[in-house]
Amino acid sequence: MPFLEGKSSTGRLGIDIHATAGKGDVGFCGYWTMEISTSKPVRIYPGMPIAQLIYYVVEGKVERLYNKKKNAKYSHQEHLPKESMMWKNFI
């Protein structure tokens, strides 16, 4: 299971990586949308490491993979990034 985390070195520059959705779903196949915010003006450069993916091993049986769920809103993306589809939630 992937987790997206900011790096402490970039956090010290005032760069925050994801405030809401840093955890990946088991079975998700597609593109992630990375959320970046800053507390002050800062420059980032191509190739500059600002985040890291951490993978945790899932033990046991996964009962429902994301890409097998009927209501998986972000599966089978053709383009990146994908806008919010929160309006499809059943409330």
Is pTM, for the whole model, over 0.85? no
Instruction: Give the separation between CA 26 and CA 73, rounded to whole angstroms.
Output: 14
35 is annotated as an active-site residue: yes
Question: Residue 49 above 70 pLDDT?
Answer: yes
Domain that residue 6 falls in: 1-76
| Residue 88 within a domain | no
Of the candidates 5, 35, 59, 63, the residue annotated as catalytic is 35
Band of residue 46 on the pLDDT scale cut at 50, 70, 90: very high
Type of residue at 18: H
Tokens of 34: 């990375």
Residues 6+ apart with CB under 8 A from 10: 17, 44, 49, 50, 51
Asked whether residue 3 is assigned to any structural domain, the reply reads: yes
Q: What was the pLDDT predicted at 91? A: 59
pLDDT, one tens digit per residue, over 55-85 is 999 999 988 888 888 778 877 777 777 778 7
Q: Is 85 part of any domain?
A: no
Taking residues 12-31, report their average pLDDT. 84
Share of the chain above pLDDT 70, in %: 98
Give pLDDT, residue 47.
92
Strand 51-55 and strand 2-6: pairing? antiparallel
Q: Report yes or no on 83 lying in a domain.
A: no
31, part of any domain: yes
